[in-house]
Structure 1
Amino acid sequence: MEQLNLLTGQTKTEIAIDFIREHEPEEGYFVGFSGGKDSIVVLDLVQKAGVKHQAYYSATGIDPPEVVKFINTNYPYVIHKRPNHKGIKSFYGMIPVIGYPTNFARWCCDKLKKDPTRSIPLPNRIMGIRAEESSNRAKRGQISHFKKMKQWLYKPIFYWLEWEVWDYIEANNLPFPSMYDEGFSRIGCVICPFICGKNQAQIERNRDRWPKHYAAFDKAMRRLWDDRESVRQRKRGFANTFEEFLDNWYHGNRSDGH
């Protein structure tokens, strides 16, 4: 049983549902869905709130195949939006053109996740973002306004802790990707170094599990290296060989001049 908030006398679920209803726009909400635990909870809360909405999944092309299958099986009504950068429709095709993403220039998040849904005429958006995830997210508050894009972002589970998310999933018998039961704490993009960090064992585990993704990424990086990156890397003393360049990227080491 959920604990009651001493100030409101409501549970966190009730507070979240009231929050969703309070800000409901006439045209309905855009609900961001990734197949992860937080978005699973948020979509269920939106449905329980009974508000007008449409859920969208940014099909990056580099999410774990298991997650894509999970979404297709359990959430067939979620609309998939795919990337398209000047006619290039894959992450691996973008790398030789744009360059490789870094911690200081995460263009992949924009091109693969944000841009595909940017033009959808639903400016009031709901996401499963929580303050606990990072200090930067905590600073942004439960409601964010992006004036340039003329969008509002609402976060119904902003103040929830991770264990409360899992409690909700269990209490409501919601399906979730089996990868969580295998020890994955995050199920984002397959090759992302910001998920693996500098954990070599995890990098190797992912490479063994999704060899086609890693082979495609290595090939794209090799093309970038051969076309122009080798000169810059050697000149700045970051990497003398392609193998060193690739290893630096996977481990989040300095290879971009920042």
Structure 2
Amino acid sequence: MAHLATPELLDRIKSLYPTSSSPPATAQEYLQNPYFFAAAVVFSAFNYPEAIPAVFQSALNDIKGLRASEDEQRHLVRKIRDALFKCGILIGYPKAINGLVALYGATPENLRDKEMIRDKTLPTEHWTASGQKYFNETYGETAEQTQKLLESIYPDFGFFCITHAYGYAYSFSDLISGLENSYIMLVSNIAMDVPRQIEWHLKGSVRNGGSPEQVKAVREIAVEVGKAAGAVWRNEIPQLGQ
């Protein structure tokens, strides 16, 4: 339901993330605020894809007001779309597909992509190496321990995580940076009420370049959107530094 993404909610979560320029003076500055793709991910996680067009349209209107070029408008769409693609690994692809369908329906024809953005000719070894690098950057000193856990519970799953999740999906940063990837994982896990993984990605967001203030803001964005979607958390949501 589009009314979940009310102007009041969007203004609130937009204001939470500390940026270098507030309000943003350019479309490029606006696109540095992760609120719009974080909201899309959380609404998808709670199976409210109907709210995504309102999130997208509000952000599109905002950057048009900042005289965004067509390329900048397309970049906005691509960021939301890639966030939904990436979050499907965590929230489940049926929900991600619903979110992508809703976004597609709201996207003007001139902003829709017709070709892949990732290079499908790259070999598996490329994505394995890229995924290992990003995994290590995200988990830092705990990377080896975490990877051993994933490989021990199911070796096939360990390979999938490094090569396909952290490689093909997450390490591709032409649209969404390593830090923004961490935000996607953080808000997805908040929506899913999994404290261990929330703690991992609170810390991972800092390792990937987020300031404590920014990471705390992304956590609050996820909570605010979750509440709008009617979320009730069984567990206490970890905070940075706990």
TM-score (norm 1): 0.31
The structure that has the greater radius of gyration is 1
Q: Which has the higher contact order (CA 8 A, sep 6+)?
A: 2
TM-score in terms of structure 2 length: 0.32
Greater helix content? 2
Select the structure that is richer in strand.
1
